[in-house]
Amino acid sequence: MKKRPNILYIFADQMRGDCLGVVNEQVQTPCLDRLASEGVTFTRCISNSPLCVPARAALMNGQLPRQSGVWSNRSGAHEEGPSHVRNIRDEGYRTAVIGKTHLWRHGAAGQVGLHVAAMEDRLKAWGFDDCLEINDPIETGWMDCHYTDHLAREGLLDAHRTFIMDWVREAYRGNDPTPWNQSPAPVPEGEDIDAWVGREAVRWLGQHDHSNPFYLQVQFTGPHDPYDGPEAYRDRYDANTIDPGITEIPSGGSPIVRARLAGSQAIIGASTEQRQQWRVNYYANITLIDSWIGRILDQLSADNQLDNTWIIFTSDHGEMLGDHGLWSKANFYNQSVHVPCIMRPARGHLAQEQGWQSRALVQQIDVPVTITDIAGASPLKNVEGRSLMPFAGYDSVDQVAHKGHECVLSELFGQSTLITDEYKLTVRVDDHKPAQLFDCANDPDELRDDLLSEHATLADSLTESYLRPLADAINQDQLSDYRRYVRDTGQIN
């Protein structure tokens, strides 16, 4: 009987789709580039929600926010609902997760002093046999997890929490951050939160009984802010050579964009040098993660498991990095919704001798469908995702190798954005009132945001073709609950 393949799903947090070395030579990712050279890199992968909890819910259950009702970080995904992890576990795989899952709002679980391990039963319900979860890096400033336990044992916790809370006061309470001034995390080399995640992943692999196949999720917390890439990795970059990005500020924009711009005055006024340094801080964290991915691959090789392991790498959403005057995510600009996606098959499953890049339009919810396909597990039901596994059998010169979805959706805060090869349209999800339209084919940097006044008929046509057929999928109770929350609090979050 042929041995079933292992599946390794590596996940970065808030990593832009243009931050792989194979598509952007300014970013140093040699280990991810190695995976790309042995697999398929999807250069047009879209996050189904540019915010942590709704994006991560979609990656677990394969559902769009309109189906799951997870419109923001204030609500959580339902662990008793569909789960690709549970389906894979039921197929006989040993399932494990190490790192930040953020399938619910950690802060909603309790107040200062609560340990995130108290929520482990919820991860078990999702289908994980082994769980080693940590918080969002920001929430380690006041909540306990396995990483803060480690820092406490090493005598580093007080310095870490002072550092994090200084950033929280600047970025979230003052809401006008200066990320180019951010110093590296105040811990020795090798004690960074992502080094901890990588080290624990290596340890788990080394202890796994390889007589049974595994499905391991390794969920790094970077390069999510506070943009604290280690000095040793910052030193690998010359800030003067870094592209500072898009400096034009939107004149109109959707309500989400206008709200985000209001808290970005320092970023709007940032100099070229400041924007370059910010990117160095961000890229350094990516290179740190990449180095730990290399060590994970080394462990697989030492265990003679690398050839029999499918590896998928992606992120939950992107990061604005000052483009269009914005920071973080939570909008529908390309920098926020475009994510990296590499599928490296087990040996013998790639039709070509070398890896290649696909221009197919794909989306995050294709990933859980792909993973159940690889495992031979029961497929998720009532999902819009498609397996990417067939791409391993294509030749890069074949037309089908670059043909994906006709349209994908990214949804957040009660708004839905449809993306096709040519256009990007944002509307209110319940009444389809248009908010923003871009001509992606002729305006790839999304600088003209006033097209609605000229192309109302086009917006109506796109809505009729792609959104109305999915109207029945909307979880009306959850949408109404979210609308009530916004109305009662005045907050869009």
Q: What six digits make up the tokens of 265?
A: 């005055």
Overall average pLDDT of the 16-36 stretch: 98
Locate tokens 């350094």: which residue?
284
Q: What is the DSSP letter of 273?
A: H
Determine the Cα–Cα distance for residues 276 and 298; give it in Å rounded to an integer: 33
Overall average pLDDT of the 183-194 stretch: 95
The Cβ of residue 188 has, within 10 Å, a number of other Cβ atoms equal to 11
Q: Between these two residues, 350 and 2, which has the higher pLDDT value?
A: 350
pTM over 0.85: yes
Binned at pLDDT 50, 70 and 90, residue 234 comes out as: very high
Determine the Cα–Cα distance for residues 268 and 103; give it in Å rounded to an integer: 32
Alpha carbon of 298 to those of 25, 27, 31, 73, 291: distances in Å?
Answer: 24, 22, 10, 36, 11
Q: Are strands 423-428 and 434-439 parallel, antiparallel or unpaired?
A: antiparallel
pLDDT at 172: 80
Burial of 367 (0-12, 13-18, 19+ CB in 10 A): buried
Overall average pLDDT of the 286-307 stretch: 98
Alpha carbon of 307 to those of 34, 214, 235, 424: distances in Å?
Answer: 14, 14, 34, 40
**161-172 confidence digits (pLDDT tens):** 999 999 998 888
Check whether 472 has a pLDDT greater than 70.
yes
Q: What six digits make up the tokens of 295?
A: 């060590």
pLDDT at 273: 98
Least confident of 112-116, 221-225, 373-377: 112-116
pLDDT at 108: 47
pLDDT at 263: 72
245: three-class secondary structure by DSSP: coil
Binned at pLDDT 50, 70 and 90, residue 175 comes out as: low
Check whether 261 has a pLDDT greater than 60.
yes
Q: Tell me which residue of 73, 42, 36 sits closest to 412, measured CA to CA.
A: 73
Which helix (H) or strand (E) is 11 found in, with range? strand 6-13
Spatial CB neighbours of 414, under 8 Å, sequence gap ≥ 6: 71, 428, 429, 430, 479, 482, 483, 486
Alpha carbon of 161 to those of 138, 145, 403: distances in Å?
Answer: 9, 13, 47
Q: Are strands 94-99 and 408-412 parallel, antiparallel or unpaired?
A: unpaired
One DSSP character per residue, 62-130 reads: ---HHHH---STTS---TTS--HHHHHHTTT-EEEEEE---SS-GGGG-STT-BGGGGHHHHHHHT-SE
| Beta-bridge partner residues of 438 | 424
Least confident of 70-79, 125-134, 177-186: 70-79
Spatial CB neighbours of 320, under 8 Å, sequence gap ≥ 6: 326, 327, 328, 329, 331, 333, 335, 336
Burial of 156 (0-12, 13-18, 19+ CB in 10 A): middle
**388-442 confidence digits (pLDDT tens):** 999 999 999 999 999 999 999 999 999 999 999 999 999 999 899 999 999 999 9
pLDDT at 110: 47
pLDDT at 109: 45
Go through 283-305 and write b for each residue having 16 or more CB atoms within 10 A of its CB, e for each that does not. Answer: bbbbbbbbbbbbbbbebbeeeeb
Determine the Cα–Cα distance for residues 87 and 375; give it in Å rounded to an integer: 9
Q: Are strands 338-339 and 40-46 parallel, antiparallel or unpaired?
A: antiparallel
Q: Are 131 and 120 in contact (CB under 8 A)?
A: yes
Alpha carbon of 153 to those of 158, 195, 199: distances in Å?
Answer: 11, 16, 16
Q: Tell me which residue of 341, 344, 346, 320 sits closest to 332, measured CA to CA.
A: 320
Overall average pLDDT of the 186-202 stretch: 97
Q: Between these two residues, 175 and 73, which has the higher pLDDT value?
A: 73
Sign of the torsion angle spanned by Cα atoms 42, 48, 51, 55: negative
Go through 446-460 and write b for each residue having 16 or more CB atoms within 10 A of its CB, e for each that does not. Answer: beebebbeebeebbe
Spatial CB neighbours of 426, under 8 Å, sequence gap ≥ 6: 254, 332, 415, 416, 417, 434, 435, 436, 437
User: Please, what is the average pLDDT of the chain?
Assistant: 93
**397: region left, alpha or beta (phi > 0 left; psi from -120 to 50 alpha):** alpha
The Cβ of residue 432 has, within 10 Å, a number of other Cβ atoms equal to 17
| Structural class in CATH, domain 6-405 | alpha beta
Least confident of 107-116, 129-138, 465-474: 107-116
pLDDT at 259: 76
The Cβ of residue 256 has, within 10 Å, a number of other Cβ atoms equal to 23
Q: Which of 107-111, 262-266, 350-354 is the most confident on average? A: 350-354
Q: Round to the nearest angstrom and report the end-to-end CA distance of the chain.
A: 51
**63-119 confidence digits (pLDDT tens):** 999 999 998 888 778 888 999 999 999 999 999 999 999 887 765 444 556 788 888
pLDDT at 253: 67
pLDDT at 492: 65
Q: Are 164 and 138 in contact (CB under 8 A)?
A: yes
Q: Are 341 and 362 in contact (CB under 8 A)?
A: yes
Peptide bond just before 255 cis, omega within 30 deg = no
Check whether 260 has a pLDDT greater than 90.
no
Q: Taking the CA of residue 54 as centre, how many other CA atoms within 13 Å lie in the half-sphere pointing to its CB?
A: 31
Check whether 2 has a pLDDT greater than 80.
no
Binned at pLDDT 50, 70 and 90, residue 343 comes out as: very high
